[in-house]
Amino acid sequence: MGIPAFFRWLHRKYPHMVEQVACDNKDPATKQAIWFDNLYLDMNNIIHPCTHPEDRPPPQTEEEMFEAIFEYTEKVMAMVRPRQLVYLAIDGVAPRAKMNQQRTRRFRAVQESEQKEAEIEKIRVQLRKENIEPDRKETKAFDSNVITPGTQFMTNLSIALEEWIKTKMAEKDDRGIWHKDLRVILSDASVPGEGEHKIMDYLRSERSKGRLNPNIRHCLYGADADLIMLGLATHEAHFTILREEFRPNQPKPCDLCHNFGHSLADCRGKESIEEAQQMPIVGATEPVFIYIQLYMLKQSLYNDMRRDSYVNLDFERFIDDYIFLCFFVGNDFLPHLPCLNIREDAVDRLVRIYHNVNRNYWQPGMYLTDRGHVDLERCQEMLHELGNAENDIFRNRKHNDARYERRLLENKKRKWYADHPNGEQFPEQEPEPEDTIRFGDFGCKERYYSSKFHFKGNYRQVADMVTREYVRGLCWVLAYYYTGCPDWQWFYPFHYAPFAEDMRSIMRIDLNFNPSAPPFKPLEQLMSVFPEKSASALPVSWRRLMSDPNSPIIDFYPTDFKIDMNGKKQAYMGVALLPFIDEARLFKALESVYPDLTDEEKIRNSHGHNKIFDDRTVAVA
């Protein structure tokens, strides 16, 4: 995921870095404009939309889901035409630092699914009262949480992908999609690591062995914004990101009858189905694909650097520092600083501070980072400058938000009176949630730390504690991007970030991680990220730990949890206040159920290896 709205901001700032793919959706192998050597697929970006699409009726069986995944994968291959390598990377067990976000997503997915099912059932009941057949049949909704390592679904998908690859490599290919010299690597969900980071590990390994030709043309498929940062971090000369272009307001099928042309609230059940059959087929349009040309982005960043910098900088070192600065605005492992918002040009603000600090404090040849390590003294100088501007940022935000709300209300009123010419009174609006923090006002720090971290007394003590973990987190993330996971068990143990102004004396922070810490096993991760509603994917005795009131870890699995809007307008942007998993308590509780695992479940709970398909043979790496 990375920085919310980062790609949209970057695209607006540097529009020429994006190029529409010249292909025919019916036959993507035609109209090929760019050839690549290596294609890397972040497969979770294919698996999710193929198994529970938003813009078309969902597949009804596992076989249909797998077939959709195969078709989409080959469609991407047809656009890219890789000549040497295809690397299919599925998310395996993630570092503990990522599990907090995964846990939030999965709990919220169940919550949203339950809300949707309640809406559907309400419409069904209403239709039955009117003697209208609700729909063809009631089907159980697909639980997308099973797209997690350790489930039977992911095991079945791995087997199906392996057979599909073997079949495709053995077939005669008249369209030239499966090149005769093509090598395929499948890194399935049993192999630890996030998909995109397994790809980065592969590239680092190939480079260290001297097998990464600098002229290789790389293409990475995926929609997550952090892929841009990872691509830049490779420092490869020819690196391109391929993704679907986001198009808002696409038609979506009704959640009840799965037909287009009406919403759930307007569904008339069987009547709607019969009406849809008499009308022209209207549905989602074919996706449009775009290339993000990183060499064009780098050229723009270089031009900006030359224009704004007061000293001569090594551009590749500047790129590393730029990536690190972006981590302050957002990443998958830490909450962003309260004063930084991508929609307020936070990245540009940080780059300006970077150049000013470089001129005023640093000697020539000094940088924030060096090969995945952070210089905390220079980072402290950056944070000091940002902290000085923090209250002004908060006050400007408050002013701009108030102006936006006034404009929004005026527009609502104009539309209301235009739609109600008889002079009906404009309805009273719901009051805005109380702003208990009042950022930028006197005492906001005490209110923030008291409200968000539940401290009593001097806020400096909690601010220092939060700062220590946050800075460790920044250093962990940078190392993760550049050298691989520095510690599989470290995580940021808070829901919120500190103020920039409070991040002081960071040079004394202990940055030692435990590189020998092992990743969780797949079923252990399921117990860490699943809500009780998804427990059916777990072994039977393990499920009881999620549901039995006497379970020693029942508090890990709340059936209801608070969403702190934290100043945001949309619920999905709020902070889910879920308890953090206590690793020691979890493993202690699992001791009693580990003996119950069947041989098949033991295999699902083990770590696997990459499978390499080369010249119609398969090997394990």
Residue 31: DSSP 8-state: S
The pLDDT score that the predictor gives to residue 273 is 61
Q: Which residue has the higher pLDDT, 49 or 256?
A: 49
The pLDDT score that the predictor gives to residue 27 is 62
The pLDDT score that the predictor gives to residue 32 is 56
Task: Judge whether 509 and 348 are in contact, CB under 8 Å.
Answer: no
Task: Judge whether 114 and 533 are in contact, CB under 8 Å.
Answer: yes
Amino acid identity, position 484: G
- Taking the C-alpha atoms of residue 243 and residue 312, their distance in angstroms, rounded to an integer, is 35
3-state secondary structure string, 121-149?
A: HHHHHHHHHCCCCCCCCCCCCCCHHHCCC
- Taking the C-alpha atoms of residue 313 and residue 8, their distance in angstroms, rounded to an integer, is 28
Residue 516: DSSP 8-state: T
Task: Return the half-sphere exposure (C-beta side, CA atoms, 13 A cut-off) of residue 374.
Answer: 29
SS3 593: coil
Structure tokens at 322: 């730029």
The pLDDT score that the predictor gives to residue 256 is 83
Q: DSSP letters along 541-584, please?
A: HHHHHHH-TT-TTGGGS-SS--EE-TT-SSGGGSEE-PPPP-HH
Among 18, 331, 36, CA closest to 196 = 331
The pLDDT score that the predictor gives to residue 204 is 98
SS3 620: strand
Would you mind telling me the total number of residues written for the chain in this entry? 621
Task: Judge whether 231 and 294 are in contact, CB under 8 Å.
Answer: yes
Task: Judge whether 229 and 481 are in contact, CB under 8 Å.
Answer: yes
Is 60 exceeded by the pLDDT of residue 552?
yes
- Taking the C-alpha atoms of residue 450 and residue 91, their distance in angstroms, rounded to an integer, is 37
Query: Across-strand partners of 184?
Result: 86, 613
Structure tokens at 402: 């108030």
Is 70 exceeded by the pLDDT of residue 482?
yes
Q: Which residue has the higher pLDDT, 417 or 192?
A: 192
Task: Judge whether 509 and 468 are in contact, CB under 8 Å.
Answer: yes
State the CB neighbour count (10 A cutoff) for residue 505: 11
- Taking the C-alpha atoms of residue 210 and residue 189, their distance in angstroms, rounded to an integer, is 28
In tens, the pLDDT along 277-313 reads 555 555 557 889 999 999 999 999 999 999 998 889 9
Query: Across-strand partners of 89?
Result: 42, 187
- The confidence band for 131, taking pLDDT boundaries of 50, 70 and 90, is confident
Q: Which residue has the higher pLDDT, 567 or 590?
A: 590
Phi/psi-derived region of residue 16, left when phi > 0, alpha when psi is between -120 and 50, beta in every other case: alpha
Cα pseudo-dihedral 125, 127, 131, 135, rounded to 10: -100
Contacts of 398 by beta carbon, 8 Å cutoff, 6+ apart: 439, 440
The pLDDT score that the predictor gives to residue 29 is 54
- The confidence band for 535, taking pLDDT boundaries of 50, 70 and 90, is very high
Task: Return the half-sphere exposure (C-beta side, CA atoms, 13 A cut-off) of residue 462.
Answer: 21
Instruction: For 68, list phi and psi in degrees, rounded to 5.
Output: -65, -40
Q: Please calculate the CA angle 292-295-297 and round it to the nearest 5 degrees.
A: 65
- The confidence band for 12, taking pLDDT boundaries of 50, 70 and 90, is very high
SS3 432: coil
Instruction: For 191, list phi and psi in degrees, rounded to 5.
Output: -90, 120
The pLDDT score that the predictor gives to residue 217 is 98
Mean pLDDT in residue range 33-52? 94
The pLDDT score that the predictor gives to residue 310 is 84
- The confidence band for 31, taking pLDDT boundaries of 50, 70 and 90, is low
Instruction: For 232, list phi and psi in degrees, rounded to 5.
Output: -65, -40
Is 60 exceeded by the pLDDT of residue 136?
no
Mean pLDDT in residue range 36-43? 98
Amino acid identity, position 228: I
The pLDDT > 70 percentage for the chain reads: 94
- Taking the C-alpha atoms of residue 460 and residue 159, their distance in angstroms, rounded to an integer, is 54
Mean pLDDT in residue range 487-508? 96
The pLDDT score that the predictor gives to residue 434 is 81
The pLDDT score that the predictor gives to residue 133 is 76
Task: Judge whether 44 and 195 are in contact, CB under 8 Å.
Answer: yes
Residue 395: DSSP 8-state: H
Q: Which residue has the higher pLDDT, 175 or 313?
A: 313
Lowest average pLDDT, out of 78-82, 136-140, 202-206, 542-546, goes to 136-140
Task: Judge whether 221 and 42 are in contact, CB under 8 Å.
Answer: yes
The pLDDT score that the predictor gives to residue 264 is 85
The pLDDT score that the predictor gives to residue 3 is 72
Amino acid identity, position 317: R
Predicted TM-score (pTM) of the model is 0.93
- The confidence band for 25, taking pLDDT boundaries of 50, 70 and 90, is low
3-state percent breakdown (helix, strand, coil) of the chain, nearest 5 = 50, 10, 45
Is 70 exceeded by the pLDDT of residue 2?
no
The pLDDT score that the predictor gives to residue 390 is 97
Mean pLDDT in residue range 427-455? 90
Is 70 exceeded by the pLDDT of residue 208?
yes
- In 6-112, where do the E strands start and end? 18-20, 38-42, 85-89
In tens, the pLDDT along 211-231 reads 999 999 999 999 999 999 999
Alpha carbon 323 to chain centroid distance? 17
Mean pLDDT in residue range 491-512? 96
Residue 24: DSSP 8-state: B
In tens, the pLDDT along 349-380 reads 999 999 999 999 888 889 999 999 999 999 99
Q: Which residue has tokens 């008291």?
A: 450
Residue 206: DSSP 8-state: H
Mean pLDDT in residue range 131-145? 76
Among 297, 157, 161, CA closest to 229 = 297
Long-range contacts of 509-515 (CB under 8 A, 24+ apart): 509/376, 509/467, 509/468, 509/471, 509/472, 510/472, 511/376, 511/472, 511/475, 513/476, 513/479, 513/486, 513/487, 514/487, 514/489, 514/490, 515/486, 515/487
From residue 507, alpha-carbon distances to 239, 442, 472, 492 in Å are: 35, 28, 11, 19
- The confidence band for 271, taking pLDDT boundaries of 50, 70 and 90, is low
Report the mean per-residue pLDDT for the chain: 92
- The confidence band for 489, taking pLDDT boundaries of 50, 70 and 90, is very high
From residue 66, alpha-carbon distances to 57, 138, 506, 525, 604 in Å are: 15, 22, 49, 24, 19
Task: Return the half-sphere exposure (C-beta side, CA atoms, 13 A cut-off) of residue 62.
Answer: 13
The pLDDT score that the predictor gives to residue 17 is 98
Alpha carbon 534 to chain centroid distance? 20
Task: Judge whether 556 and 579 are in contact, CB under 8 Å.
Answer: yes
Q: Which residue has the higher pLDDT, 81 or 268?
A: 81
- Taking the C-alpha atoms of residue 136 and residue 63, their distance in angstroms, rounded to an integer, is 21
Structure tokens at 398: 């408050």
Mean pLDDT in residue range 511-515? 95
